[in-house]
């Protein structure tokens, strides 16, 4: 009985390995592996566009992972790896777009929207502060 439970437990724990997406060989150096994993979780898959290449098992994602692994093992820096991708596929592939002319709008838009929202709220609040406090109006309102 105990054996059977252990076998089931072992199978359950091993199961996720069977659906692993990244079947490439891991780096021996944990530092390089960590860099690799961070990079692939920030790169958009070009055919399945709302997924990172870490989470996609289409072959082009596997190809890109292989190229990134190669670049890292050749001693390239993170910036050089991202450069490699951007020159081929454009800023679009980066989930964290770089601050540059074309992507400037992406970076400043949120601050602009917060500012616009803040101005709108302050205007509404100021307007309401000028209204007389008049609870009677509610009580005397039409009743049904």
Partner 1 sequence: MNRYLLPLIAVIIMIPILVMGLRVDPSKLPSQFIGKAVPEFDLPTLKNGFRNFASTDLVGQVALLNIWATWCVGCRAEHEFLMELYRAQTIPIYAINWRDNRGNSIRWLQQFGDPYVVSAFDEDGRVGIDWGVYGAPETFLISAQGTVVYRFTGPLNRSIWEREFVPRIAALTE
Binding site for partner 1 (CB under 8 A): 46-47, 49, 59-60, 63-64, 66-67, 86-90, 92
Name the residue nearer to partner 1 (CB basis): 59 or 111.
59
Name the residue nearer to partner 1 (CB basis): 64 or 72.
64
Report residue 90 CA to chain centroid gap: 17
Cα–Cα nearest to 63, from 89, 97, 28: 89
Q: How far apart are CA 88 and CA 72, in angstroms?
A: 17
Across the chain, which distance is largest between two alpha carbons, in Å?
Answer: 80
Residue 52 phi, psi (nearest 5): -80, 165
Name the residue nearer to partner 1 (CB basis): 92 or 95.
92
CA-based angle 69:75:77, to the nearest 5? Answer: 85
CB of 87 to partner 1, least distance (A): 6
Cα–Cα nearest to 52, from 96, 88, 83: 96
CB of 114 to partner 1, least distance (A): 15
Name the residue nearer to partner 1 (CB basis): 6 or 113.
113
Any alpha helices (H) in 48-103, and if so which ranges? 59-73, 78-89
CB of 88 to partner 1, least distance (A): 4
CB of 112 to partner 1, least distance (A): 12
CB of 3 to partner 1, least distance (A): 45
Name the residue nearer to partner 1 (CB basis): 60 or 99.
60
């Amino acid at each position: 009985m105990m054996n059977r439970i252990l076998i089931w437990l072992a199978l359950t724990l091993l199961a996720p390995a069977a659906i692993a997406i990244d079947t490439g060989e891991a780096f021996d150096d944990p530092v390089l592996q960590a860099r690799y994993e961070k990079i692939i979780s920030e790169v958009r898959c070009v055919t399945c566009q709302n997924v990172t290449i870490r989470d996609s098992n289409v072959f082009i994602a596997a190809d890109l992972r292989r190229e990134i692994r190669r670049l890292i093992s050749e001693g390239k820096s993170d910036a050089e790896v991202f450069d490699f991708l951007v020159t081929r596929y454009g800023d679009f592939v980066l989930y964290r777009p770089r601050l540059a002319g074309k992507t400037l709008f992406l970076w400043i838009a949120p601050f602009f929207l917060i500012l616009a929202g803040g101005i709108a709220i302050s205007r509404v609040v100021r307007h309401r502060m000028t209204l007389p406090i008049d609870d009677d109006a509610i009580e005397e309102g039409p009743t049904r």
